[in-house]
Amino acid sequence: MTTQNPLVPLPAPIARIATLAGAAAALAGTFLPWTWTSEFPGDLTVTGYPGGLQVLTLTGAVLTLLFTLTGYGIPGLRWLIPGGTNSPVRLLALAVLGTTGYAMGAISYELGGVVNLEPGAWVSGIGALVAVIASLALPSDVALPAEGPEPTGWQRFRNSLAAPSAPRARALPGWAEILVIAGAFGLALYLFTYGIDIPTEDSEQFIGFLITAVLAFTALTRAGLIARITALTSKHRNVTLTAALVAAFCFPFTQNTAEYALIGANILIFATVALGLNVVVGLAGLLDLGYVAFLGVGAYTAALVSGAPLSAIGVQFPFWAAVLTGAVVSLIFGVLIGAPTLRLRGDYLAIVTLGFGEIFRVTVNNLNGNSGPDLTNGSQGIPSIPDLNLFGIDFGLTHELGPFTLSRPANYYLLMLVVTAVVVLVFRRSGDSRIGRAWVAIREDETAATAMGINAFRLKLLAFALGATLAGLAGTVQAHVNYTVTPEQYQFAGSVPPNSAFLLAAVILGGMGTLSGPFVGAALLYLIPAKLQFMQDYQLFLFGIALVLLMRFRPEGLVADRRKQLEFHETDQLDVPKPRKPDETDAGIAKAGA
């Protein structure tokens, strides 16, 4: 048991009190003005009413106080730190310092010097700095209590001052576990809504939001709280899926403008296509670098049969028929591309799929009536795709639903949510089936899987065809959401997702082979560029840095299954046997035993 950290020579009780004092000061500073002018985004001039970046500092300070108090064994807070470590306190204090320091630097840069900082900024900044320094003196390891009666009252408080502990939480009843899952998804919806509602021109607040969110998530992971919630979601999978769909359904009703509902619809399209790619890459282990072409096949097919004025076919299918047509055509292309190429492995397969993606883009660009048949209108694409009309509902119009108003993007968001639910059902059922287990076996070792009687080629072709079908399904909705389809939308890499590089990154970032991982990765990769448009010229550079950091610190992805965690963080090597002492011969050991 460690009571003093050698990094900062300060006794643990004093360090904990100093951490509380610093976090309290940072909290109090948010109720004071940080600057004198409202020109800085967020209006940080009001006394007694935090706004903008002050809200993020306040949130981080409250979490720091909460997790610091858990070290004193307060009964109501024991559930927060099942990991029994002080690392969450350090990370949360660092989040407060990072957000506050960034706010002070941004105010000084944009308004012309530190003279524009009011006392509230200094109080929060100094308090956050004190909390970080004091948290470094907290014990590195916190011992969990041994089995037996738990101390109560003054004895527990006195013991916690000397060596803070995190008592093991008792098992919750079933109804409480369901409430925790519902609360977790409700909180996730609130955080997502808060981030997406930040105005695009207010990039300072969004950067502060990212700083707080990343460090707070890391703190909750180190505390073991994320693992505990993950265990609950694994235990109640049907409840988890229902809660996720309900939270996603509620999103458009939280939006007052069409801009952010459109971002939500595009995120769902991006995430659904990424989930289809997860079948190919995450389950079957096939590196597909041209997957966005299947999205384009579905989108172009839907555009051609939508009744658009510039459609070369000149027909108009009902939406259900257009969806089936787009999915079937994508399936056919998946089989035609996969049949001659899936006997390749590794880099060779990646090169072939990359070539298919580029061939698709060049082909639709040349089908303009000059270089080839007049089918896709070349580089101009197929514009003016009409809005859908389902069950008498015109998706191009706004609709009143009680006190809520659903805009055009909100209508398509809800439609895409239905498509997403279908894709999730297909992914879950296929992943848990005998075929899904065979895909995983092929991913881990194709030679061994073949030796065990698995028809690797047939199952890989099935995965390729299924992934193409799911991408084509999403493409049919994308064509109507964007009004037009053009070849430039379906590149290998570009500044605007979805493209093949970003789709693959969403799967890797979120977690290969998982259900929720592609959604997390797609949301991050789409939302961050949409909010930080001033960094568009450096987007790919920053994107590469983020991937390098991810591969270094969390190679299994943000949402990882147990198999990936064991693969990247545990070794299969056996312990090296200790050498025997000179008198430890077999005969001597037998004699001693006798």
State residue 393 phi and psi, 5-degree precision: -105, 120
pTM: 0.80
Indicate whether 335 and 443 sit together in one domain: yes
Indicate whether 172 and 259 sit together in one domain: no
Closest C-alpha to 107, from 61, 38, 60, 50: 38
In a domain, 188, yes or no: no
Indicate whether 297 and 209 sit together in one domain: no
Indicate whether 209 and 267 sit together in one domain: no
The boundaries of the domain holding residue 441 are 255-547
In a domain, 542, yes or no: yes
Indicate whether 102 and 33 sit together in one domain: yes
pLDDT for res 572: 44
In a domain, 336, yes or no: yes
In a domain, 562, yes or no: no
Indicate whether 345 and 471 sit together in one domain: yes
Indicate whether 392 and 328 sit together in one domain: yes
In a domain, 429, yes or no: yes
CB atoms within 10 A of CB 207: 20
What is residue 210's three-state secondary structure? helix
Q: Say how many domains are in the chain.
A: 2
Indicate whether 172 and 300 sit together in one domain: no
In a domain, 182, yes or no: no
Indicate whether 209 and 260 sit together in one domain: no
From first to last of the 594 residues of the chain, give the pLDDT tens digit.
Answer: 445 555 556 677 888 889 999 999 999 999 999 998 888 888 888 888 888 899 999 999 999 998 888 766 665 566 666 655 678 888 899 999 999 999 999 999 888 888 889 999 999 999 999 999 988 888 764 444 434 444 444 444 334 333 334 345 566 777 888 898 899 999 989 988 888 888 877 888 888 999 999 899 888 888 878 878 888 888 888 888 889 899 989 888 888 778 888 888 888 998 899 888 888 888 888 888 888 889 989 999 988 888 888 777 878 888 888 889 989 999 999 898 888 888 877 778 888 888 888 888 888 888 877 777 778 888 888 888 888 888 778 888 888 877 888 888 888 899 889 989 988 888 888 888 888 889 888 888 888 888 888 888 888 899 889 999 999 998 998 888 888 888 888 887 766 667 788 888 888 888 887 888 888 888 888 888 878 777 777 777 777 887 788 778 777 777 777 666 666 665 444 444 444 444 444 444 444 444
CA–CA distance, 181 with 168 (Å, rounded to integer): 20
Let me know if 201 is exposed, middle or buried by CB neighbors in 10 A (0-12, 13-18, 19+).
Answer: exposed
In a domain, 222, yes or no: no
Q: Characterize the bridge pairing of strands 393-394 and 389-390.
A: antiparallel
CATH number at residue 428: 1.10.3470
In a domain, 415, yes or no: yes
Indicate whether 38 and 93 sit together in one domain: yes
DSSP class of residue 142 equals: -
pLDDT for res 469: 92
pLDDT for res 584: 46
CA–CA distance, 431 with 425 (Å, rounded to integer): 10
pLDDT for res 498: 75
CA atoms 54, 521, 414, 488: torsion sign: positive
* Contact between residue 406 and residue 256 where contact means Cβ atoms under 8 Å apart: no
Indicate whether 284 and 335 sit together in one domain: yes
CB atoms within 10 A of CB 26: 30
Indicate whether 166 and 313 sit together in one domain: no
What is residue 382's three-state secondary structure? strand
